[in-house]
Amino acid sequence: MKRYHLTTFGCQMNEHDSERMKGMLESLGYSEAPERSEADVILFNTCSIRETADRRFISHLGEAKRLKREQPERVIGVGGCWAQSLKDEVFARFPFVDVAFGPGQVNRLAEFLTSDSLTAQGYFEFEGFTGHLPARRERTFQGWLQISVGCNCACSYCIVPSTRGREVSRPPQELVAEVQAMAADGVREVTLLGQNVNSYGRDLPRGDGERPGFASLLGMLDEIEGIERIRYTSPHPKDMREDVIRAHSELQSVCEHIHLPLQSGSSRILKAMRRTYDRERYLSRVAMIREHVPDVALTTDIIVGFPGESEEDFQQTLDVVEQVSYDSAFTFVFSPRRGTEAAEIGEGIVAHPVKVERMERLVEAVQRHAKERAQRFVGRTVEVLVEGTSRTDPDRLRGRTRHNKVVNFAGLAAPGELTDVEILSATSQTLRGEERLLARTAV
Ligand code: 5AD
Ligand code: SF4
């Protein structure tokens, strides 16, 4: 039996695509090799969001090159956003690569592997959703649902519109059927994926009635028996409407967590980023969220050092962080990406030490708030979906709350079970607790 090895970089959409890639390979009779050196087909699902993602991948590719030299009949395949963004150069720069394909062309990998082709092949036109391919889920009780691909935004720093193309939504009936099948398979938590989930449906035909929007999709999925939790990522603040916010308080399965990427707290920088909202609009969305879902966990993405960001602009970002008090935030130093508008801006590039110093101040504020916010869970008993054993302590279990907080706890529940955990302490990153049953038997 032939064996494959797949390494995944990047976002949850790539994790989803990799599960589909694995499902497809296994339906072709391949099995997974534990080590890259043992594989007949070495695959990478790549990301290009920041320079660091490129660099990490290139070092892995070096090892694949060496393995190919040792055993030339090995196949090296590169899929995903990095491959798509370098489609014209991949084979010239990396001649040992046999097959390269963009995120909309995963199905072509099967075609390549089953053909007798001896020449390198590249596939880069969007052809279909990876969601149509069979999946091999990492965890049997958690599933991804690709609701759309592509992005119609033009954020000036972002490479994604050029790697994933225009937005295309999948019809709601198809998504409902897929989640019903997942539920029948034992999935309890579904995460809806799209580059901009809350513009879902705008490209679909109107049909007889209303075009289905993101909120109505949430409503349809909430009704499916067996699905206890629905999450999604990522929404765009410009499209965050009241109906979606209300879904978090009205629909039982939609979790109390919203990831709302801020990027910058300065309206001037937001304009240069082409985010199409300003600071006030963002803060008014947050106020609406807090009004409908008071206990919500809010998380975000922030970029520091965008070209032209002044100390005053940065202060505005810090000020939003202080006002909103996020449960957690991903912070990034601006990274110029090939072909993007922001990469072309020559002036006002923020000096490296200034970026580093701003990042330190930002991380301090983010962590302080995350720690403070997490304290509200101490003393509460919360529902946890058990994911496995704690990474730091093999005697404890690890799971996630509806607020998407990781909990390490003493208990007996099995992976995939929902159980009640009493929270005893909290840091900025994780909660610590005891399963309720244990606590009861102890008294
Ligand atoms: N430089 C730095 N961070 C970026 N992101 C996207 N593009 C860039 C870039 N060129 C960040 C944004 C986005 C997250 C996924 O990655 O914050 O929300
Ligand atoms: Fe990376 Fe963005 Fe592509 Fe995801 S969509 S793999 S984050 S470049």
Q: What is the pLDDT along the chain (443 residues), one digit of tens a residue?
A: 899 999 999 999 999 999 999 999 999 999 999 999 999 999 999 999 999 999 999 999 999 999 999 999 999 999 999 999 999 899 999 999 999 999 989 999 999 999 987 789 999 988 788 988 999 999 999 999 999 999 999 999 999 999 999 999 999 999 999 999 999 999 999 999 999 999 999 999 887 677 889 999 999 999 999 999 999 999 999 999 999 999 999 999 999 999 999 999 999 999 999 999 999 999 999 999 999 999 999 999 999 999 999 999 999 999 999 999 999 999 999 999 999 999 988 556 899 999 999 999 999 999 999 999 999 999 999 999 999 999 999 999 999 999 999 999 999 999 999 999 999 999 999 999 999 985 555 54
How many residues are recorded in the chain? 443
Nearest ligand 1 atom, CA 301: 17
Place of tokens 């304290």: 375
Strand, helix or coil for residue 205: coil
Residues with CB under 6 A from ligand 2: 10-11, 13-14, 47-49, 80-81, 159-160, 163-164
| Superfamily designation of domain 3-123 | Methylthiotransferase, N-terminal domain (3.40.50.12160)
Rounded Cα distance, 3 and 5, in Å: 7
Mutational test site, ligand 1, from 11, 158, 195, 334, max ligand atoms within 8 Å of CB: 158
Nearest ligand 2 atom, CA 85: 8
How far is residue 390 CA from its own chain's centroid?
Answer: 22
pTM listed for this prediction: 0.95
Nearest ligand 1 atom, CA 342: 10
Q: What are the boundaries of each domain within the chain? A: 3-123, 142-299+311-323, 378-442
Ligand minimally distant from the alpha carbon of residue 150:
2
Q: Whose CA is nearest to atom 16 of ligand 1?
A: 49
Q: Whose CA is nearest to atom 9 of ligand 1?
A: 335
- Under 8 Å between Cβ of 134 and 143: no
Q: Whose CA is nearest to atom 5 of ligand 2?
A: 160
Nearest ligand 1 atom, CA 157: 10
pLDDT for 373: 98
- Ligand 1 centroid – CA 326 distance (Å): 18
- Under 8 Å between Cβ of 168 and 197: no
DSSP 262: -
Give the architecture (CATH level 2) of 142-299+311-323.
Alpha-Beta Horseshoe (3.80)
- Ligand 1 centroid – CA 262 distance (Å): 11
Q: Which of the listed CATH numbers 3.40.50.300, 2.40.50.140, 3.30.1490.100, 3.30.465.10 matches domain 378-442? A: 2.40.50.140
Nearest ligand 1 atom, CA 11: 15
Ligand minimally distant from the alpha carbon of residue 337:
1
Ligand minimally distant from the alpha carbon of residue 102:
2
Mutational test site, ligand 1, from 197, 332, 344, 366, max ligand atoms within 8 Å of CB: 332
- Ligand 2 centroid – CA 276 distance (Å): 21
Find the helix or strand (DSSP H, E) in which 66 lies: helix 51-70
Query: What are the angstrom distances between the C-alpha of 173 and each of 20, 91, 169, 198, 232?
Result: 20, 40, 12, 17, 18
CA-atom Rg of the chain in angstroms: 23
Residues with CB under 6 A from ligand 1: 49-50, 157-158, 261, 263, 301, 303, 332, 334-335, 337
Which burial class, exposed, middle or buried, applies to 119 when counting CB atoms under 10 A from its CB (0-12, 13-18, 19+)?
A: exposed
What pLDDT digit, counting tens, does each position of 284-323 carry?
999 999 999 999 999 999 999 999 999 999 999 999 999 9
Q: Whose CA is nearest to atom 18 of ligand 1?
A: 301
- Ligand 2 centroid – CA 219 distance (Å): 28
- Ligand 2 centroid – CA 56 distance (Å): 14
Nearest ligand 2 atom, CA 103: 3
Mutational test site, ligand 2, from 44, 46, 47, max ligand atoms within 8 Å of CB: 47
How far is residue 224 CA from its own chain's centroid?
Answer: 23
Query: What are the angstrom distances between the C-alpha of 184 and each of 18, 224, 225, 299?
Result: 22, 10, 9, 31
- Ligand 1 centroid – CA 400 distance (Å): 25
